[in-house]
Structure 1
Amino acid sequence: MSKREVQASVKDERLVQKRRDQMIKGAVALFKQKGFHRTTTREIANAAGFSIGTLYEYIRTKEDVLYLVCDSIYDHVSDRLQKDLELKQGTIESLKKGIANFFYVMDEMQEEILVMYQEVKSLSKDALPYVLKKELEMTGMFESLLEKCVENGELNLSEKQIKIIAHDIFVQGQMWSFRRWALRKLYTLDEYIELQTDLLLSGIKQLHSSEAALRKGGEG
């Protein structure tokens, strides 16, 4: 699915990105405080630091702003997951790095993530499937990391096991965003990452031990 186009009358791509970043920052605070439907485009423009007329040079509808919020989250996640992984693909170290980078993004973009899940229902029928597909693509990145570990002999997992573990990682990252108010009383972010990663790898190891025991019992 190609990237959904949000039309702008301004042709300078750098300026478009700058203005939209300002919109996203202002809109997130408003959506969190008032909700999507109670927030006006004029309020978004004021929060972004420019006029309502300028706002409509970069978007066409208020929904475009919510869409940009959602899309920016996934762009950040994608960029961070790819960072520093090229030379370490297919290793446990690359998997740990990918998990850590994802959790860091969940921490950095907590406000955006909370708004997205609260207001994603307000997206139109053409935008919602794209956003949901982007989420599956993020999970797919972890599937790829796990598959490369299997190919290198670092892990021994079936296709179904790879898929459920990828979803587990994604949900654990989201949990830090949704439950950070409670989790930060117990752990630093780095402690949370280390604990969740250790539990994940221990679970995989236990899974292998259980399967080996079942095979041995069957042979007996």
Structure 2
Amino acid sequence: MKKVHIPSMVKNNQKIRKRRNQILEASIQPFKEKGFHRTTTREIAENAGMSFGAIYEYVESKEDILYLFFEALYDQLNNILKSRVSDQFKGLERLRSFVKQYFQVINEIGQATSIMYSESRSLPKPYLEYVLTKENDFVQYVMDIFSKSLEEENISLDEEEIYLLTHNIIVQGHMWAFRGWALKDRFTLEKYTDVQTKTLIGSISALTE
């Protein structure tokens, strides 16, 4: 699906990127604390150090801000992961390494991940459709790593099983963000990653019996 174009009154692309980054940073705390609908564009503008009128030089609506937030989140997740995931491991060690890196990234962008879960329903339909395309692309990326790991171990699972376990990995990472208020009293990130990885490997073993 084609990327949604968010119009700007400003023609300088570098300035657009800079100001929109300010706007997105300024939106994280109020979106997390108050939710999308209770957060005002004026509040975001004030947090960004901009006048209420100036913010509309870079976006046309609060929905534009939420869409740009989601787009930036997926780009950040993909870019960080692809810079960290190493090809030096093979088989299940490749999978373990990916899960460790993925959970670490989610830990770093936890606030944004929580907002993604709570506010995706607030996106207008065309925006949501594109965001879901980005999500499906990420699912495919994880599936490819999963499939390669299994192939290197000569482990055979059908596509539906791989697809479901891929979603389990993704959601377990997200759970560290949106259930962190409970988990972090009992687990370090390292321990949480270790337990979830063992559960994942155990699921693979169970499916091959």
TM over 0.5: yes
| Map 1:104-183 → 2, pairs under 5 A | 104-183=104-183
Report the Cα distance in structure 2 between the residues aligned to 1:62 and 1:133, rounded to whole angstroms: 21
The aligned counterpart of 1:41 is 41
Note the C-alpha offset of 1:89: 7.1
Report the 3-state secondary structure (helix = DSSP H, G, I; strand = E; otherwise coil) of the residue aligned with 1:83.
helix
Distance 1:17 1:190, change over 3 A: farther
The aligned counterpart of 2:28 is 28
Report the 3-state secondary structure (helix = DSSP H, G, I; strand = E; otherwise coil) of the residue aligned with 2:87.
helix
> Conserved in 1, the CA contact under 8 Å of 2:92 and 2:150?
no
Note the C-alpha offset of 1:39: 2.1
Q: In the alignment, residue 45 of structure 1 is paired with which amino acid? A: A
The aligned counterpart of 2:56 is 56
> Conserved in 2, the CA contact under 8 Å of 1:120 and 1:128?
yes
The aligned counterpart of 2:10 is 10
Report the 3-state secondary structure (helix = DSSP H, G, I; strand = E; otherwise coil) of the residue aligned with 1:190.
helix
The aligned counterpart of 2:19 is 19
Distance 1:86 1:114, change over 3 A: closer
> Conserved in 1, the CA contact under 8 Å of 2:89 and 2:97?
no
Note the C-alpha offset of 1:60: 1.3
> Conserved in 2, the CA contact under 8 Å of 1:24 and 1:65?
yes
Root-mean-square deviation over aligned CA pairs: 2.0
Runs of 4+ off more than 4 Å: none
Q: What fraction of aligned residue pairs are identical, expressed as a percent?
A: 38
Report the Cα distance in structure 2 between the residues aligned to 1:150 and 1:107, rounded to whole angstroms: 26
Note the C-alpha offset of 1:152: 2.7
Report the Cα distance in structure 2 between the residues aligned to 1:120 and 1:85, rounded to whole angstroms: 27
How many residue pairs are counted as aligned between the two chains? 209
Note the C-alpha offset of 1:35: 2.3
The aligned counterpart of 1:102 is 102
Q: Structure 1: which 5+ residue stretches go unaligned? A: 211-220
> Conserved in 2, the CA contact under 8 Å of 1:80 and 1:101?
no
Q: Which has the higher contact order (CA 8 A, sep 6+)?
A: 2
> Conserved in 1, the CA contact under 8 Å of 2:91 and 2:151?
no
Note the C-alpha offset of 1:119: 1.9
Note the C-alpha offset of 1:28: 1.7
Deviates more, 1:100-109 or 1:83-92: 83-92
Report the Cα distance in structure 2 between the residues aligned to 1:148 and 1:53, rounded to whole angstroms: 51
Deviations 1:108-166 (A, max 9, x none): 22222222222222211111111122222222211110121233345332211110110
